[in-house]
């Protein structure tokens, strides 16, 4: 089957920066002793706050560059543990030749979306830099979509997929309420759609943005009292 796709820039500068930053931070972690069980019990104490994040994950689909966008919403416990749900979807640009019959072929877009419970733990923080291990389990579908000869949108080969995505990320906080981050991870297909022949297992490279509602709300509330 021949493959068609529009080029997607994988942002090599951000990818290289993420790898260098992660290597530098991880080389210093030997000086810290991390007791995960005690840490989680400690950070789950107290009242949680609302958290919203967006990210873009650069990856590959059967060798074609592809980008998956994500929006996360959930609860933050002491700004160290995050739990919630995310919505993810494949950006445009991955196209495939789809045979409809022995003498008819169309060019279809590969479409993917999922809802994923996620968990993230920040195990290292110093100054404005933090390192975390996010993971999520995506329940969704993948399909081909194309326009018929009369202009109708047709969805073909739609099927369920289950994906597991662990990663490691670095975030830099600025202006108190905002954070920019980058990271590396892997997308592993646990249940695939046999009607779609593409290989979805792939390394992932993350770029993310975060708004700290807890700090913002606290400052606004403090100003209202003044």
Report the C-alpha gap between 29 and 133 in whole angstroms: 14
Q: Which two tokens stand for residue 53?
A: 């994040």
Residues 200-211 have pLDDT tens digits of 999 999 888 877
Q: How far is CA 34 from the centre of its chain?
A: 25
CA 204 to CA 183: how far, in whole Å?
8
**pLDDT at position 138:** 96
Residues 89 and 112: beta-carbon distance below 8 Å: yes
- The per-residue pLDDT for 175 is 81
Q: Domain-by-domain residue ranges, the chain?
A: 3-225
Contact present, 183 and 22 (Cβ < 8 Å):
yes
What pLDDT was estimated at residue 127? Answer: 86
User: 116: how many CB neighbours lie within 10 A of its CB?
Assistant: 21
Q: What is the pLDDT of residues 98-151, one digit of tens each?
A: 988 778 889 999 999 999 999 999 988 888 899 999 999 999 999 999 988 888
- Burial (0-12, 13-18, 19+ Cβ within 10 Å), 183: buried
pTM of this structure: 0.74
* Dist CA 134 CA 169 (whole Å): 7
Q: How far apart are CA 170 and CA 136, in angstroms?
A: 17
The per-residue pLDDT for range 88-111, each reduced to its tens digit, is 999 988 898 898 877 888 999 999
- Specify the pLDDT at position 50: 86
Alpha carbons 122 and 53: distance in angstroms, whole number: 15
Q: Which of 28-32, 74-78, 189-193 has the lowest mean pLDDT?
A: 28-32
Task: Determine the Cα–Cα distance for residues 199 and 163; give it in Å rounded to an integer.
Answer: 12
Residues 146 and 162 sit within 8 Å (Cβ to Cβ) = no
CATH of the domain spanning 3-225: 2.40.160.20
């Amino acid at each position: 089957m021949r493959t068609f796709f529009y080029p997607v820039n994988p942002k090599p500068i951000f990818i290289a920066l993420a790898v260098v930053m992660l290597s530098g931070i991880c080389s210093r972690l030997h000086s810290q002793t991390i007791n995960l069980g005690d840490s989680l019990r400690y950070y789950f104490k107290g009242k949680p706050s609302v958290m919203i994040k967006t990210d873009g994950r650069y990856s590959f689909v059967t060798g074609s560059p592809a980008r998956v966008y994500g929006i996360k919403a959930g609860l933050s416990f002491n700004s160290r543990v995050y739990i919630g749900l995310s919505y993810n979807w494949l950006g445009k640009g991955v196209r495939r030749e789809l045979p409809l019959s022995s003498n008819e072929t169309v060019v279809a877009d590969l479409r993917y979306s999922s809802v994923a419970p996620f968990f993230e733990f920040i195990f290292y923080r110093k100054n404005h830099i933090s390192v975390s291990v996010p993971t999520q389990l995506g329940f969704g579908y993948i399909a081909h979509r194309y326009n018929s000869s009369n202009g109708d949108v047709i969805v073909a080969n739609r099927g369920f997929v289950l994906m597991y995505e662990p990663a490691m990320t670095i975030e830099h906080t600025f202006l108190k309420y905002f954070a920019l981050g980058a990271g590396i991870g892997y997308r592993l297909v646990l249940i695939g759609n046999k009607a779609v022949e593409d290989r979805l297992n792939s390394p992932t490279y993350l770029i993310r943005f975060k708004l700290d509602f807890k700090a913002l709300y606290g400052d606004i509330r403090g100003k209202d009292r003044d």
